[in-house]
Structure 1
Amino acid sequence: MTQEPCITDNNRSVKPVAVTSFSVFLTYLTAGIALPVIPLFVHNDLGMNNVMVGIAVGIQFFATLANRGFAGKKADQQGAKKTTRFGMGVITLVGLVYFIALFAHHSVWLQFGLLVAGRLLLGLGESFLLTGNLTWGLGLIGQKRSGIVMSWNGMAIYGSLAAGAPIGLFLYHHFAFLGVSIACIVCPLVALLCNAKVPSVPISGGDRPSFTTVLKQIVVPGTVLALQGVGFAVIGAFISLYFAAEHWGNAGYTLTIFGLAYVVVRIFFGGLPDKIGGIKVTILSLGVELIGLVLIGFSLQEWQALVGAALTGAGCSLVFPAMGVEIMKRVDAQVRGTALGCFSAFQDIAYGATGPLAGFLANSAGYGAVYIAGACSALLGIVISVTMMRPVEQS
């Protein structure tokens, strides 16, 4: 494997990674602020139906997935800092497109088209932002502390979604969509200022393995990540309907509890994959997720489902950094960005495919069966993780 430069010394300060992670938080507030507002704007302001709401919200996923590999290649060949800041620049345009849409009020369809264009730009920018920032962080503090890099980036993303929602609703209530669009312009601009002085990292030289080779190296950890993602996807898609069917209240707290558990585990145990190994952490995490999903699926009372959501969030929290640590052991330094981009795509696929498949299951077997299916996915992830315990030859 290509020799790491001196900046990977384990004694190197993690402060630059803290700064880049905070910049991700600020940039991704663009997504967090807009997420609860987009449905209201499309349905109330534009007068469109729920199908169009779904298109406006969901189309970002396709843009993110389509550009993961390209973003990774750019980070490997043109530099991680450059890639990250390019993603921030693209996301700045999201707010600008939202702003322009306000002046197209003579045509509802033009406004909707501009809104969709903004969502596509967000997906594109997200690919470059997150893949570039992960690669940048690994270059700043080294492969041996890759778990910290991935954990902090995950906290930044989930933190921005949690903080952005109330901010977005406040802005929309007091300043309409104009306030939201301006905030979506300002946040990534501030982020660009925050990480401007963080040093770039060298581009690793040497022969670059083919994309097919890289994919083969990450497909097993990626599959485990996808199986973990089913748990979050079924909670996000069906928990409100499940609570309504059971005549329980407080369904809105479920995702809050999930998110809090997710972040708390990363705060206190984010370095665990680096210390004891990614596979061990993954097996333990998937076991906790499995218990949480089973508890939700067989809940007889509301509090049991809420506890199950907390356990599921705690279980999901460390799988990405844990499997990411294993990937860093398998790939050459000069293709880390490509590997991380492809790895992240497995989670995107899980989030996108789970909803419709679980919908068919819910129609035929009820909502509880959806969570049992999620638990089965976690169990399969454990089985695959156990097969990864044998020693791996480094590239």
Structure 2
Amino acid sequence: MEQVKTTEVGGTVSHLLMLCTIVFLGFLTLGISLGTLPDFVTSGLGFSSLMVGVVIGVQSAATLATRHYSGTVSDVRGSKRAVMTGLAFCAGAGVFYLVAGAFVAHPVGSLLLLIVGRLILGLGESLLITGALSWGIGLMGTHYSGKVMAWNGISMYGALAFGAPVGMWLASALSLEWAFVSVVALPLIAMIVADRLQGVAPAGNVRMPFYKVVKSIWRQGSGLALATMGFGVIASFITLYFAQQQWANASLSLTIFGASYILARLCFSHLPDKHGGRIIAFYSLLVEAAGLICIWMATSPQMAFAGVALTGFGFSLVFPAFGVEAVKQVAPQNRGVALGGYVAFFDLALGVTGPVTGWLAGFYGFAVIYLVAALAAVSAILLNQSAKAGK
């Protein structure tokens, strides 16, 4: 059983840093996977890029499908238990990768093993981040919800950005098997760290139905989903947009987005807790919308880079800002399922944004999808304001 928290704020900054280290180590498995699996599926197994999309995408589908389950585990069994179980599943995914690597002579069998591993990793990721958010808020107290979400977000995105090149380096400098071994080893190291961090008592023992979760947090979740379109169109299409405009250094866009995103969180993660999520969401969405309009109207790569920077800076605090308000909509014993449902809106938005905006770009060009994303951010502002007015 987890150690019971005796005060409302039982954690310190060092505890939060330990939790962020756990998340970073766990999410390195996702980054390493992104850096190694596409080449393995195409060059190693001889499948097409379409199958790469299936292998990569099935993990996101599993994550989305298990968000509510992960929240329930966190609430009923304890957030520490959710994190430890999630890390165990992440390590298990690495085992399936290793076995798949041993069956290269049988491509179909190897591919099926990879898909099973990706499904397991999706469940592991869902348990890990939902449990980590709930654990952090339980340790630090609800007055630090925004900071917990912001710092965990830095750990997640940092691990994804760092893990991909690390996985590619391991595969080229040593071997693909060593890259897969690291997918097994890193979550196990994270489990050792997690075992040393104090737990918090399970918040409740009653499973909250999914429809009640959605009914409680739909405004905050919908605002997050609308804002996520800006991130989705940059991540998916910015390089193609640059190519269409015949601009160089398209890859620099993602670096600029990531740098401005992390900068905003490092400098301003305390603002949602201090001033409330609604007001911070309002200004953040304004900045994001301005950035997306700048990209849409760009007449030079420098103008597009400026728009990307503004978008990353604005989007950065949207998640913790709306998240602070989402946590307020439910009782403490249902915090985990609320967080799981809230994050599911982000997953759903990413899954829908790519196909829908890609279809639009095929008819109207890539510039227009940044205008559409800007209008989505403005819609999120209106939704945020209607929630403030109590409509």
Q: TM-score range by the shorter chain?
A: over 0.9
Unaligned runs of 5+ in 1: none
CA contact (8 A) 1:7 1:141 kept: no
1:290 aligned partner? 289
Tell me if the contact between 1:80 and 1:135 (Cα under 8 Å) persists in the aligned partners.
yes
Matched with 2:66 is: 67
After superposition, residues 270-349 of structure 1 pair within 5 angstroms as 270-349=269-348
- 1:64 touches 1:127 (CA, 8 Å); kept in 2? yes
Aligned to 1:216: 215
Q: Alignment partner of 1:386: what SS?
A: helix
Aligned partners of 2:72 and 2:208 also within 8 Å: no
Report the counterpart of residue 49 of structure 2 in structure 1.
Answer: 50
1:14 aligns with 2:13: yes
Mark the runs of 5 or more structure 2 residues left unpaired by the alignment: none
- Asked if the contact 1:208/1:334 (under 8 Å) is kept, the reply is no
- Could you say which residue in structure 1 is the equivalent of 2:92? 93
- Give distance in 2, aligned partners of 1:220 and 1:35: 32
The aligned amino acid for 2:378 is: L
* Structure-2 separation of matches of 1:186 and 1:206: 33
Aligned to 2:194: 195
Q: Distance in 1 between matches of 2:169 and 2:211?
A: 47
**TM-score w.r.t. length of structure 1:** 0.95
1:250 alignment partner, SS class:
coil
The answer to whether residue 366 in structure 2 is matched with residue 389 in structure 1 is no
Taking the aligned partners of 1:301 and 1:25, their CA distance within structure 2 comes to 36
Output the CA distance in 2 between the equivalents of 1:206 and 1:75.
10
- Equivalent in the alignment of 1:162: 161
Contact residue 233 and residue 369 of structure 2 kept, 8 A: yes
Question: Does the CA-based 8 Å contact 2:294-2:307 persist in structure 1?
Answer: yes
What residue identity is the alignment partner of 1:22?
T
SS state at 2:195 partner? coil
- Contact kept, 8 Å, 2:147 with 2:269, in 1: the verdict is yes
After TM superposition, what 4+ stretches of structure 1 lie above 3 angstroms from structure 2? 205-211
Separation of aligned partners in 1, 2:364 and 2:315? 25
Letter in 2 for 1:262: Y
Q: TM-score, normalised to structure 2's length?
A: 0.96
1:263–1:185 Cα change, 3 Å? same
Paired residues of 1:7 and 1:139 also in contact (CA < 8 A): no
- Cα deviation, residue 213, structure 1: 2.5
Q: Which one-letter code corresponds to 2:82 in the other structure?
A: T
Residues in 2 aligned to 1:204 and 1:34: alpha-carbon distance in whole angstroms: 34
Bigger shift: residues 264-273 or 176-185: 176-185
Query: Which residues of 2 match residues 128-167 of structure 1 at below 5 A?
Result: 128-167=127-166
Secondary structure of the 1:373 match is helix
The letter for the 2-side match of 1:199 is Q
CA RMSD of superposed structures (Å): 1.6
Question: Is residue 72–residue 207 contact of structure 2 (8 Å, CA) maintained in 1?
Answer: no
Q: How many residues align?
A: 388
Q: Any conservation in 1 of the 2:71–2:131 contact (CA below 8 Å)?
A: yes
Query: Secondary structure, in 3 states, of the residue corresponding to 1:299?
Result: coil
1:207/1:107 CA distance change after superposition, 3 Å: closer
Task: Letter of the 1:236 partner, please give it.
Answer: A
Cα shift readout 1:11-46 (whole Å, capped 9, x = no counterpart): 852321210111100110001112122211111221
